[in-house]
A = this chain, B = another copy of it.
Amino acid sequence: MITERNARATGDDVYELARALFPVPRSLTGEGVRETLRLVDELVPLELTEVPTGTAIFDWTAPREWNVAGAWIADESGRRIADYADSNLHLLGYSQPIRTRLRGAKLLEHLHSLPEHPDSIPYRTAYWAPTWGFCVTDRTRAEIVPDAEYDVVIDATLEDGSLTYGEAVLEGESEEEVLLSTYICHPSLANDNVSGIALLAVLGRDLASRPLRRTHRLLFSPGTLGPLAWLSRNRGQLERIHAGVVVACVGDDGPLRYKRSRAGDTIVDQAAAHVLRQRSREAMVDDFFPWGGDERQFCSPGFDLPVGALTRTPHGLFPQYHSSADNLDLITPQSLGDSLATVHELIEVLERNRTYTSRAPYGEPQLGRRGLYREVSAGAPRSEEAFQRALLWVLNQADGSQSLLDTAERAALPFSVVAAAADALFEAGLLE
């Protein structure tokens, strides 16, 4: 059980890792991705996979690898008005290398800004278009003089190489797997998604030190293509996936939010909805929709896996989204700790959930002689006697068709209380 104090302590751990991950210049491919995986590996050992440029990945192809040495725009006085060294958001992702001088009017065609947030640098990519560009604040853009000349330098390579992902497999008693996935392609954006990377890394460290019933797989991969590459290499083993969650945007102070899988009623949907309802009144459970994060790939019709998504404020719904305002001030140790504790609790529910059959199904068994009922009877259990109620519910529902989670939901009791009651009844020989 994670106490409030523990949640804060591990929230600090997550925040500390997030701070280290923040400046790394990530993209769909390249050294920034590998550096990110190296930082994660310090907490939980990873196995890396390199997918060579040109490899077919379902409807896609692994792209060329992109690495940036530097990039800037300077005005006629030599002043750098945008410099990759200041913020890796300045460079349009997958910009082609260039070294040129052009007029302001022409330069403007290659600039991206956010008129509604004039002090923020947007985050933009053009993975599949042969172009280049810079992202700047709208104030900077406004200062461009159409007739003036500007120097543009993008010292980058776009060459055959590979797309990289890492995974940690924490073996359990069973081959059944719980998949926890996050994306590592976003550069200096704190909530989206340094928060998810850091959370899963700390989670991996924690899980490594506890016994597990099922195998837990942590997947750190660049968005869309990473999960697809993993899926293409593991098609024969997808049956093993008992439940999965994509974890991202988990550091801001918005309420917890779970997005159901495409099927909508799988075990992870049931467990996550239960956990969120128990943890907070503000928590939300959304039906599936086919945009957002990597759950889209796991939930495409050809796979239709039991994989949902856990966030706090999700993609596109916080004003700092995809801009330089999504920085380390947006995320807090407390929110990160609460998110981590939520994932732990979800895993705990999945680990402890079982379907029992009563060994005394004909009438109520005599609980008193097993020490499970008070000696002097006073009638129905009072509302505060949740454990007594849970004992009766578990016995009544133990017909081999209802899981403990089903029982908790029908009884409107916390899973932990129902599971503890089941443990006591199992100890007493009343369940099998």
Contacts and interface: CB of A to CB of B under 8 A. Distances in A.
A361 B302 contact: yes
A299 B380 CA distance: 17
Contact of A377 (B124, B363, B382, B397): B124
Interface in A329-365: 358, 360-365
A231 B361 CA distance: 13
Contacts of A296: 363-364, 392, 396
Identical chains in the assembly: 3
A59 B365 contact: yes
Given A366-B128, A368-B128, A58 B360 contact: yes
Contacts of A300: 361-364, 395-396
Nearest to A381: B291
A404 to B, nearest CB: 15
A381 B57 CA distance: 24
A290 B396 contact: yes
A78 interface: no
A57 B366 CA distance: 11
Interface stretch (A5-13, A168-176, A314-322): A314-322
B112 A376 contact: yes
A274 interface: no
A101 interface: no
A315 B379 contact: yes
A125 interface: yes
Q: How large is the interface on A (under 10, 10 to 19, 20 to 34, 35 or more residues)?
A: 35 or more
B379 A321 contact: yes
**Chain A at the B interface: mostly helix, strand, loop or mixed?**
loop
Given A126-B375, A126-B377, A363 B58 contact: yes
A301 interface: yes
Contacts of A380: 291-292, 315-316
B362 A392 contact: no
A303 interface: yes
A217 B399 CA distance: 28
Given A58-B360, A290-B392, A378 B302 contact: no
A84 interface: no
A117 interface: no
Nearest to A377: B125
Contact of A395 (B126, B290, B392, B411): B290
A316 B385 CA distance: 13
B396 A299 contact: yes
A228 interface: yes
Contact of A131 (B112, B301, B362, B375): B375
Interface string A281-324: 00000000111100011011111100000000001100001100
A377 B123 CA distance: 9
Nearest to A373: B128
A228 B363 contact: yes
Interface in A367-404: 368-369, 375-382, 389, 392-393, 395-399
Given A224-B363, A302-B363, 12 more contacts: A60-B363, A126-B375, A128-B366, A228-B363, A289-B389, A289-B393, A291-B392, A297-B363, A300-B396, A301-B361, A301-B399, A302-B362
